[in-house]
A = this chain, B = another copy of it.
């Protein structure tokens, strides 16, 4: 059957109209797959990500050495899009880089997909893309593939970004819950609760002055230092959504081991602690975006601690506890006064849309 008459048909030499191509805000038409979409991709994403994006084919071709690859995805819906210490762009890169790093891989390639709400200022999208490019360059990863969709006003909230990453697995490294053994030592790379409180402070317009900034950072360099120092490292995890408490509770559940944590050894920055006190929040439940938990054999713990402290992102690292015979599958915190307290996994949300 032949083609119907085309409402957008034009003469052979009629150049395409330019409607909307310089709009200061994202239009529904930017998601239609036509010229406007191409222009948005060029103006925002290719301008920021440069030649690494393989925009002309349906799929990018990448080369990841080794028999096995690490593969992970995360959607980022943080509100607001910009906050002290970073933006959704930084988070979207660092979050996926960190998930790749936590399984002992070196992050190599990222794909980034955008669900944009109609009306988002193009300048904000450009800033976000710029932040992503900067974070990707810092993490040594290439953004090679992407997608852009636009939804109507009231069907989104600025922009949601999903990043998916492929990492190159280090030979000789096998991180797994099943490898955690009695007597192993737990370390944390620094203060906890910074990211979540930075978001909450800016979002809720809290009435205090203390500067709290997100700790968003790419941790692959720190994990490399740990794994180089101690190839027998059992497990690495980043305590993001749900905070340190959720991370520890998951480890206990997955390993079936008891974890005993010395409360006093877990650092919280004074301004974060003060804000938590004010709001009645537990910093152990507040999200981090640039911290990790490592579990290592006891005999290597001192050396790993030193290797972490020698890294810019681990200067405040500390040993916080150990794997014990008691209370299998549960986390117990010991207080400075000798008390013992179960650290449960939180049920629902503490802070929505923190990442």
- Asked whether B352 lies within 8 Å of A32 as measured between CB atoms, the reply is yes
- Asked whether B59 lies within 8 Å of A4 as measured between CB atoms, the reply is no
- Asked whether B74 lies within 8 Å of A113 as measured between CB atoms, the reply is yes
User: Within 8 Å of chain B (Cβ to Cβ): is A144?
Assistant: yes
| A15 → chain B closest CB, angstroms | 9
- Asked whether B64 lies within 8 Å of A3 as measured between CB atoms, the reply is no
Residues of A within 8 A of B (CB): 1-14, 16-17, 19-20, 27-38, 56-65, 67-77, 98-100, 102-103, 105, 109, 111-115, 144-147, 149-152, 154-157, 160, 162, 164-167, 169, 175-177, 237-238, 240-242, 245-246, 250, 254, 263-264, 266-270, 273, 276-277, 280-285, 287, 327, 330, 332-333, 335-336, 340-353
- Asked whether B342 lies within 8 Å of A71 as measured between CB atoms, the reply is no
- A sample of 27 cross-chain residue pairs with beta-carbon separation below 8 angstroms, ordered by A number, consists of A1-B266, A2-B268, A6-B284, A6-B285, A7-B280, A16-B344, A28-B349, A31-B349, A33-B240, A33-B241, A33-B349, A34-B346, A34-B348, A61-B70, A61-B71, A63-B69, A69-B166, A73-B113, A73-B146, A73-B162, A73-B164, A75-B113, A77-B115, A152-B353, A155-B156, A155-B157, A156-B157
- Tallying the copies of this chain within the complex gives 2
Contacting residue for A242 out of B33, B67, B330, CB 8 A: B33
